[in-house]
Amino acid sequence: MPTTTTAPTNLKSLTKQLRLDIIRMIEAAGNGHPGGSLSIIDILAVLYEKFLKHDPKNPAWEGRDRFILSKGHACPALYAVMAHRGYFAKADLLTLRKLGSPLQGHPDRLRLPGIEFSTGSLGQGLSVGLGMACAAKLDKKEWKTVVVLGDGELQEGQSWEAFMAAPKFKLDNLIAIVDHNNGQIDGPVKEVMDIEPLSDKLRAFNWDVQAIDGHDLDSIQKALSCAWAAKSGRPQVLVAKTVKGKGVSFMEHNIAWHGNAPKKEDADKACMEIEHGR
């Protein structure tokens, strides 16, 4: 039976390498979204290393947990993790957004095995995840569904329809993770369309809510352990406070790096900072 890990992993070292991969693949592509990819990489690393049941050699394995990156523009983070886990060769990361590459600018399930749902149009991922979680309940299956959403994405009304529906169907096998980096392409989330008080709103929708530091690897693991074990009859959500562009000083909290690829000079500087931990 497939397992989540093949060997003990130093998560801190892994996330450093994954950040380097993100910078280099976006540099090679000449476009992409570094800010939001760097803000979720710690969460994705913990998920794929410690929690998700998945099999890179058999991506369609029926017993796998389902993962949806609803904020699909941050796919460089997902691709970096998938390459590390063996879904494809790491050298293929440098084909990001190239013609004919399976690594499209947004995840495409028809091109890349291991992608559950093609995302890019924001606001849809949680609804699809809800459907998957319902299917597992109806079929009496044990696998989980995990959905990562952006905070700006929560300005989409469809997200709140899904937040409202999930408790009705007692989907404690559904885990949502909000990448709360407070930045979107048009500016700070609180200025574009404020979503606060977010945790209170989600509790009012009858979700079990945990607010965490989305870059603290221990906190992420503890929160996911709690969500994974839940038998409350309520869906689970982690509101992860993160930093857009985390790990690179000139990208952190800087909206300009939401969807702007670094040139070689900036990429070299970013990689040096990541390697030496600033």
Number of domains in the chain: 1
Q: pLDDT band at 278, cuts 50/70/90?
A: low
Please give the pLDDT value at position 277. 84
Which DSSP category does 49 fall into? Answer: I
Q: Please report the pLDDT score of residue 7 as a whole number.
A: 43
| Structural domain includes residue 3 | no
Kindly report the number of other CB atoms within 10 A of residue 6's CB atom: 11
Please indicate, yes or no, if residue 69 is contained in any of the structural domains.
yes
Tokens of 256: 């300009």
Give 240's contacts (C-beta < 8 A, 6+ positions apart): 43, 177, 178, 179, 180, 212, 213, 214, 220
Q: What's 65's DSSP letter?
A: P
Q: What is the pLDDT of residues 162-181, one digit of tens each?
A: 999 999 999 999 999 999 99
| Euclidean distance between CA atoms 235 and 166, whole angstroms | 6
DSSP β-bridge partners for residue 150? 179
Q: Report the chain's mean pLDDT, rounded to a whole number.
A: 96
**How does pLDDT run across 75-89, given as a tens digit for each residue?**
999 999 999 999 999
Domain that holds residue 269: 11-276
257 pLDDT more than 90: yes
> 2 in a domain, yes or no?
no
The H or E element spanning position 223 is: helix 217-229
For residue 147, pLDDT over 90 is answered with yes
**2 pLDDT exceeds 80?**
no
Which residues are bridge partners to 174 per DSSP?
Answer: 145
Residue 151 maps to a domain: yes
Residue 65, domain CATH: 3.40.50.970
- Largest Cα separation within the chain, whole Å, is 53
The verdict on residue 135 lying in a domain is: yes
Query: Does a structural domain hold residue 94?
Result: yes
CA separation for the pair 145, 173 (Å, rounded): 6
pTM of the complete model: 0.96
Q: In whole angstroms, how far apart are CA 169 and each of 112, 174, 205?
A: 31, 11, 13
